[in-house]
Structure 1
């Protein structure tokens, strides 16, 4: 099951603000929390009190909590990686190792007595995970999560991100990555140009960032890196179907009720013997074969345009097509809409036999 998550930074906010945010996020279906010990500069007992309070709230909301740590944090707090009882006492479900150890230690940590998840940093394309796997970890307690990047132009490039992520999916490990809110201002450091994993996401709407990560098929959990995301952003993500790509569509004028029904009330499946020029959803033409689709506007076909076969198209009447490559006008097809400009790149993720839905903007 794919999940949504939020981040909180207790040292930069108040317990009341964090609790309100967690309650709001939970109401929209968010079920995990990322928080960070890397930037906390307090005595051990103060840290314990602060984090126990907020983690207790999250657990009451049925949210999983992962704490970001590094070897320096273990040293600072006098904690042994062999017995991470301090994190269990806080109520955390796991710890994320921002920096790793030697492979053997990580493997041993997955056998801790508290069932804590050990979350590895995914944003390095080296044989780090392979080294850990040679030491026979308990994979039930081993998961991965990418970094976020507060400074603009420092996020991961796409191909590198894919290569890193594939290392983890090869072992069927759960994975996570970060998206950024355009409204949130809190992060662990004093630089916050957005807290995303992929650099290309930094200026995209948050729902498109999340759609993209899920569409890769390599990310299970999408977490908002900065706090606090707006109510609208939480709602947008909460409405997403993480398992199926949904494209936002700008509707043409004078589209018929029948055409709207075909577009928005059906789950579309791309034909398996694909065309490079269009995504063909053919099951709908069978369902609506007896219904009329009157001829309408038939301009030249541009990438992202959506067409439906009209009554003059014979057996192809009511077939829905999403244009991938520009083509001449075809009077047998009506233009009914266009995929939102910012989402055009998502067309490349509709694979043979892949399913998708359309949503009117």
Structure 2
């Protein structure tokens, strides 16, 4: 599941609503925001929160708000009035330092509660359970890390997530955005450091496919249009791969534009498009040989007329291979999308930006 992050007072109401609608169409169902309210204008913050809540409720998205014990005063509420936030559109609270087990357990009786995934231990979970925690309303949320070099180690992160899931907790983490980066550092908001300069979509797939994360939020408040397109395609279980291609013949262009599917018997060295083979086998296909080129990782190739019954098969190279006169190189996967190749598992659909 996918989520976004929005920070109150940093965009107009129209911009906020347009972005929420756009991301909802791409599969987002959760909005993260912060209620660590500045001392200077809490009334404006409450007004902005209510506006956000109205839009989220109307569109059909949850809001998880990060807050501290002092936030209640600025909101004009007591902690016992947490359910009042539901009327504002807030469906869950992320709590951390300063809350007692009893306070957290009482909050869980009123709404969803997100705990700090990095600091939970067995003793704390026992204290929460003894205090009456409603575990079915609890999630474990990791932090994001604005300062470079402070994001989590991914091996520790994966081990941690396995334990959290073994305790029956839903695990949530952040990946950075790639357009509007939150200040003051503007260095991305990842949970694990390795993702700081990685593409948003590939970081998301790593989180959900390899690192035992149940929900992923984009920490920064904006993504590029082609990144949005990747998430939109993934709604139909298609991995959208950005590439650069050479001038194509009509037949090569037709092959590249197909919605491809990796074979169920995966090759070691290449991704083989099952779709292209079916198409080529329907009738005579003419793929004339091109000048011979190297086949580095990420090269997109089509077997030419010299390959006999394999003519027309489209492949994506997974490891550097030597040139082959029977294989035309027609393009290359963009460097930022190379990490996606390991996510194209047997039977996985994929397509290119042509």
Residue-by-residue CA offset, 1:243-302 (whole Å, 9 max, x unaligned): 44322121123x333333333322312433x43322233353134212414232342321
Residue 6 (structure 1) aligned with residue 16 (structure 2): no
Equivalent residue, structure 1, for 2:300: 306
Paired with 1:245 and 1:103, the residues of 2 have a C-alpha distance of: 42
When residues 192 and 333 of structure 1 are mapped into structure 2, their CA distance, relative to the original with a 3 A threshold, is closer
Over aligned residue pairs, what C-alpha RMSD do you find? 3.6
Q: Secondary structure at the match of 1:288?
A: helix
Equivalent residue, structure 2, for 1:54: 52
Residue-by-residue CA offset, 1:203-244 (whole Å, 9 max, x unaligned): 3444444454455474454433233x2674774465341544
Gaps spanning 5+ residues in structure 1: where? none
TM-score (norm 1): 0.78
Match of 2:115 among 115, 120, 126: 120
Q: Secondary structure at the match of 1:118?
A: strand
CA contact 1:129–1:167 (8 Å) conserved in 2: no
Q: Matches of residues 39-188 of structure 1 in structure 2 within 5 Å?
A: 39-41=37-39, 48-71=46-69, 73=71, 79-80=78-79, 84-99=82-97, 106=104, 109-110=107-108, 112=109, 114=110, 116-123=111-118, 127=122, 131=126, 138-170=134-166, 174-184=170-180, 186=182
Shift of 1:172: 6.8
Equivalent residue, structure 1, for 2:332: 338
Q: Secondary structure at the match of 1:21?
A: helix
Gaps spanning 5+ residues in structure 2: where? none
Shift of 1:150: 1.2
Paired with 1:278 and 1:175, the residues of 2 have a C-alpha distance of: 33
Q: Secondary structure at the match of 1:338?
A: strand
Q: Secondary structure at the match of 1:5?
A: strand
Q: Secondary structure at the match of 2:146?
A: coil
CA contact 2:178–2:224 (8 Å) conserved in 1: no
Residue-by-residue CA offset, 1:153-176 (whole Å, 9 max, x unaligned): 111233233233333445675443
Paired residues, number: 346
When residues 356 and 107 of structure 1 are mapped into structure 2, their CA distance, relative to the original with a 3 A threshold, is farther
Paired with 2:181 and 2:319, the residues of 1 have a C-alpha distance of: 40
Relative to structure 2, which stretch is displaced further, 321-330 or 160-169? 160-169
CA contact 1:301–1:329 (8 Å) conserved in 2: yes
CA contact 2:241–2:333 (8 Å) conserved in 1: yes
When residues 144 and 317 of structure 1 are mapped into structure 2, their CA distance, relative to the original with a 3 A threshold, is farther
Residue 266 (structure 1) aligned with residue 264 (structure 2): no
CA contact 2:199–2:337 (8 Å) conserved in 1: no
When residues 334 and 225 of structure 1 are mapped into structure 2, their CA distance, relative to the original with a 3 A threshold, is same
Residue-by-residue CA offset, 1:308-327 (whole Å, 9 max, x unaligned): 22333234333332212222
Paired with 1:25 and 1:158, the residues of 2 have a C-alpha distance of: 30
Equivalent residue, structure 2, for 1:279: 271
Relative to structure 2, which stretch is displaced further, 258-267 or 87-96? 258-267
CA contact 1:3–1:220 (8 Å) conserved in 2: no
Q: Secondary structure at the match of 2:234?
A: coil
Paired with 1:125 and 1:337, the residues of 2 have a C-alpha distance of: 48
Paired with 1:317 and 1:63, the residues of 2 have a C-alpha distance of: 48
Residue-by-residue CA offset, 1:71-109 (whole Å, 9 max, x unaligned): 55468877447x632433433111122448676765664
Paired with 1:85 and 1:139, the residues of 2 have a C-alpha distance of: 18
When residues 284 and 127 of structure 1 are mapped into structure 2, their CA distance, relative to the original with a 3 A threshold, is farther
